[in-house]
Amino acid sequence: MPRACFGWLSLAGPRLWGRAACLAAALALWALGGGAAAGAGRDPKPPRTRQEPAPSPGGASGRLARAAHTSLRIDPQGISLPSPGASQAYIVTAADRTGLETDVTAACAVRSSDPAVVEIDRERGRIFAKAPGRARILVSFEGARAGSQVTVGNRPAELQVRFSPDVVSVLTIKGCNGSGCHGSPAGQSGFKLSLFGYNVEADHEMIVKQQGGRRIDVARPGESLLLKKPAFQIPHGGGRVLPPDSEEYETLLSWLKQGARLDSGGVRLNRLEMYPGERILTAGARQRLVVIGRLSDGTTRDMSRSVRYSTGDEAVAGVSADGTVAAGRRGLTAVLARAMGQVAATQIGVIPARSAGLAAGEGSLPEPDPEPNNVIDELVFAKQRRLSVAAFPLSSDREFARRVFLDVVGRLPEPGELREFLSGPGAGRRPR
């Protein structure tokens, strides 16, 4: 067999070709992802993370209280609220000397540098804009400190409800524009919306003008089909998805009262960001997610309850409509948030409670990490360590040769080819 075939394998590192070849390759790809989909500016190699089970999201356990934390971070950064009355959820993360991260939102001390501009509700983990200006949110935990600047704009107190993002967000979180409802290629009962609101103009046209404008009644907003059907005040195939006493119902009603305008030249959602970008949870733990929208006018909007959440594997981690992740069995999965054609993601790993100490660098795994040969090995071994997955023993030279031939040329090596490989220098046999 040509030496180039063996040289090709050195790109991935020989230690990937043990009994867990597929697992290692998948972990390498996942490690390279590093949570970048959750927003710009993320660290491609985030520190090791863990979340202890707590009575409430963000709560600190006894183990956490004894840890020596060296750094603190508050997310999101760069909050710009449009006007007094707006609010934003936040998450505070502490990292210890090993790089292990823990959510301490409910356990840290937090204050505003100017309560007249920004007020803090510590129990709910939210900041509220009180007056135009700037203020810093200052947090501290076990001697570590962090901060984030918040800007409050001077918009009118009575904000206009916009079709995008306000109305489209309601249609998204209620599943109206999902693939199983009116967002399907054919729509439902003659009513078709763009999938997750990616085409705002077409959606407005369908709601306001199609079929003679029968879906809205600007003169009598409360009688609009857009409200009465999802509220199940008249028969609706999707059932009751919009109770009249809900915040989403009030949003649609206000939009209708204000004339059901498109405001096509107005603010647009540029991107979504979700925090934390990655988290390792112990089985049974919960983690609150925070989603913000970066708008075209430079402001931010808390969209934690204005997006549609989904998870790649419900058995590993489920997610509720309000963005609370519940850790299940051991494994890896991604949680997605969708709104108005934008998507953000966070990566969730679940490990047994007994493995949390190993993930934190306490004790040792059954097998020590092999020496990495390249950057792929480094990423894979780091991910295995964080997930408390022991490295598999190296395969024998005979096994290695068989797997290389099968993978590269699709056949087993001839006896002569195998002898040629095994007769080479031991130290450089595989990389060559």
Q: What is the pLDDT of residue 187?
A: 78
221 φ, ψ (degrees, to nearest 5)? -55, -40
Cα within 13 Å of Cα(342), Cβ side: 25
C-alpha 23/C-alpha 14 separation (Å) is 14
* pLDDT for the residue numbered 290: 94
Paired residues of 204 in beta bridges = none
Positions in the chain whose pLDDT score sits under 70: 1-69, 98-100, 156-160, 233, 237, 264-267, 340-341, 354-369, 426-428, 430-432
Return the closest-CA partner of residue 80 out of 158, 132, 145: 132
Using only C-alpha atoms, what is the Rg of the chain?
26
Burial level of 99, CB count in 10 A (0-12/13-18/19+)? middle
Looking at the chain, the domain(s) classified CATH 2.60.40.1080 span 30-155+268-353
Q: Which residues contact 335 (CB under 8 A, 6 or more apart)?
A: 274, 289, 309, 310, 311, 312, 317, 319, 325, 345, 346, 347, 348
What pLDDT score does 369 carry?
A: 61
Q: Is the CB of residue 303 less than 8 Å from the CB of residue 312?
A: no
| Phi then psi dihedrals of residue 275, to 5 deg | -125, 145
Structure tokens at 47: 């520190």
Identify the CA nearest to 303 among candidates 295, 292, 319, 287: 292
Q: Decide the pairing of beta strands 269-275 and 290-295.
A: antiparallel
Token pair, residue 340, equals: 């108005």
Q: Is the dihedral of CA 226, 232, 238, 241 positive or negative?
A: positive
CA atoms of 100 and 229, how far apart (whole Å):
49
The CATH number fitting domain 30-155+268-353, selected from 1.10.8.100, 1.25.40.80, 2.60.40.1080, 2.30.140.10: 2.60.40.1080
Q: What is the pTM of this model?
A: 0.61
The 10 Å Cβ neighbour count of residue 37 is 18
Q: What is the pLDDT of residue 88?
A: 93
CA distance 9 to 397: 13
- Which bin fits 321, alpha (ψ -120 to 50), beta or left (φ > 0)? alpha
The Cα-based distances of 246 to 240, 242, 249, 270 in angstroms read 12, 7, 5, 27
